[in-house]
Amino acid sequence: MSENKKTIIISIIAVVLFIIAISAASFAYYTANIEKTGEGNTDFNFKTAQISTSFDDGDEIHIENMIPGDSFSKTFSLGNSGSDMEYKIVINELVNEFESYQDITYVLKENDVVIKDGTFPKEEANNELSEKRTLKNGENKRYTITITYNNTNDDQSPDMGKTISGIIYIKQI
């Protein structure tokens, strides 16, 4: 085999090994920064934060056939056994079929203290339920979100049989 062929083969092997090394390093970086373990939305590793979530009855919100004056509550907890983490509470896969969506309000409490209230989101683009929060190492927080269909003097009959659904999610910032 001539020297040129050996040089070309060695160069090709070197390029292939370089591409494999870069791909492996990129994948390792991705998985080291955000890694979800376990089933559902229960345990997360954000960089070096070790976040655990616990939902009293699952992370899904599904409300059907609300009538004016009805309320729905969901409770969940967050714990951290790693580095401090900043996050927001959001609702993903949001469906809000109510035409008079402004009549649907929510109150979000952290450890029984109101941290946010307002009109429940109508569109996925506005899915943030909280402002930026911080969970420190060793800290545990309990959240309750209460969604209410407010009774007004307006005709609310077009909203009969409508649905609200989504999944509560912790979004790292």
Q: What residues does each domain of the chain span? A: 3-35, 52-172
pLDDT in tens, 108-122: 999 999 999 999 998
- In sequence order, the β-bridge partners of residue 107 are 117, 146
pLDDT in tens, 8-58: 888 888 888 878 877 776 655 544 444 444 445 555 555 566 788 888 888
Handedness of CA 149, 151, 156, 161 (dihedral sign): positive
pLDDT at 69: 93
pLDDT for 126 beyond 90: no
Integer Cα distance of 58 and 107 in angstroms: 19
CATH of domain 52-172: 2.60.120
Q: Is the pTM of this model over 0.75?
A: no
The pairing of strands 85-96 and 163-172 is antiparallel
Q: What's CA 82's distance to the chain center, in Å?
A: 19
pLDDT in tens, 72-93: 999 999 999 888 889 999 999 9
Cβ atoms 136, 8 nearer than 8 A:
no
pLDDT at 37: 46
